[in-house]
Amino acid sequence: MANVVVVGAQWGDEGKGKIVDWLSERADVIARFQGGHNAGHTLVIDGKVYKLSLLPSGIVRGGKLSVIGNGVVLDPWHLVKEIAILREQGVEITPETLMVAENTPLILPIHGELDRARESGNAVAKIGTTGRGIGPAYEDKVGRRAIRVADLADRATLETRVDRALAHHDALRRGLGLPEVDRDALIAQLLEIAPSVLEYAAPVWKVLNEKRKAGKRILFEGAQGSLLDIDFGTYPFVTSSNVIAGQAATGTGIGPGAIDFVLGIVKAYTTRVGEGPFTAELNDADGQRLGERGHEFGTVTGRKRRCGWFDAVLVRQTCATSGVNGIAFTKLDVLDGFETLKICVGYELDGVALDYLPTAADQQARCTPVYEELPGWSESTEGARSWAELPANAIKYVRRVEELIQCPVALLSTSPERDDTILVTDPFAD
């Protein structure tokens, strides 16, 4: 049976939540493989709105197993809070429907404090983090001083891990003018939350491999977008993990051979939250209109997103680095009513034409867009569920995007409602 990886192919906020929910009907297992609670998914099902930031999108769908993999950094207090909120909305969550990898590193309160202290004191160039401790938690993971889910089960191990972490953090905190950590209070906090997390702990790598051998369909869900990848994004204005499709294997403990289809989620225009280069950004009435029509405010942070025309250069690049087989094209309806649309088809850097985003930050900042214009459409595409319901110019726009990014459209989304989706190629088809 086919297993599918879903990745954002821009800077995030492409509509992954709806697409993952839509695909989860065909999946048996939904596995989150990177990131933390710094990126949100908004799902609209039968008019009911669910806001997720840590739990996999499939959690709202009964009869599915949702998994948080080891590639995620987990805030245990946020996990418990998010579970409680969903339960109040009628979602059943039990150890049979949710598993957390035992080797998942934890986000501690000290990580958020460090994150915020660094960002507020950075006079050189702010990264634009959410301040939720994601970066510092990943730093501790690669620095081999993280506290992981399994450590919560044994007090002696937990105390050793805390001491190792604080030997690093207390020195940092002194340098930043922060008080040293109350060791005993931190241990007490962790021991208090431990039972609520450990009930979901499992050897996820083992479970997923057994599910695969049994012929179950697995849907791998990423957070953020490929342009925020720590290696291939607009560094240093990126997240602290690998976001591209290859992370699905290492972030869950399943081999890359288990991946059969990579679906890239692509918005019909471009948005970005926070700092960093954005070649096709619009600081005019068109940009304002895209933001208003697209309701471009962050699910987690509430921050207003920067908006611009579709950038085919960036999406072609992310489709290559993630090995995307097909894209899910979202928010086409936001473009309704524009008399003329533009697509960024190339860059110019110091008089030289480029067909890719350069790696150097100073060069990224100096790139200017080369646009191609297409006629817009006055008819509404909202809620369309077949090609026949789309205006001719809307279809031409989609087809031109396919040509420019060198990747076909597999799904087309025309509203936040899960059923307002045109299926071209089923990613789960054998």
Residue bearing the bigger pLDDT, 50 or 318 = 318
* Angstrom distance (rounded) from CA 224 to CA 14: 9
Instruction: Using alpha carbons only, give the angle 399, 405, 411 rounded to the nearest 5 degrees.
Output: 55
Q: Helix and strand tally (H, E) in the chain?
A: 12, 18
Beta pairing partners, 214:
none
Which DSSP letter does residue 71 get? Answer: T
Report the residue count for the chain. 430
Q: Which segments are annotated as binding site?
A: 12-18, 38-42, 130, 144, 224, 239, 299-305, 331-333, 413-415
Q: Which segments are annotated as binding site for substrate?
A: 299-305
Tokens of 232: 């291939």
Domains and CATH numbers, the chain: 4-103+200-261 (3.40.440.10), 109-197 (1.10.300.10), 266-423 (3.90.170.10)
| Residue-wise pLDDT tens digits, 133-169 | 999 999 999 999 999 999 999 999 999 999 999 999 9
| Residue-wise pLDDT tens digits, 361-388 | 999 999 999 999 999 999 999 999 999 9
- β-pairing, 306-308 vs 270-272, is antiparallel
| Residue-wise pLDDT tens digits, 266-279 | 999 999 988 899 99
Residue-wise DSSP of 318-359: HHHHHT-SEEEEE-GGGGTT-SEEEEEEEEEETTEEESS--S
Enumerate the active-site residues: 13, 41, 141
* Angstrom distance (rounded) from CA 45 to CA 296: 20
| Residue-wise pLDDT tens digits, 301-320 | 667 899 999 999 999 999 99
| CA 142, 147, 151, 157 torsion-angle sign | positive
* Angstrom distance (rounded) from CA 57 to CA 60: 7
* Angstrom distance (rounded) from CA 379 to CA 388: 13
Q: Is the pLDDT of residue 123 over 60?
A: no
Q: Which segments are annotated as binding site for GTP?
A: 12-18, 40-42, 305, 331-333, 413-415
What is the pLDDT, as a whole number, of residue 152? Answer: 98
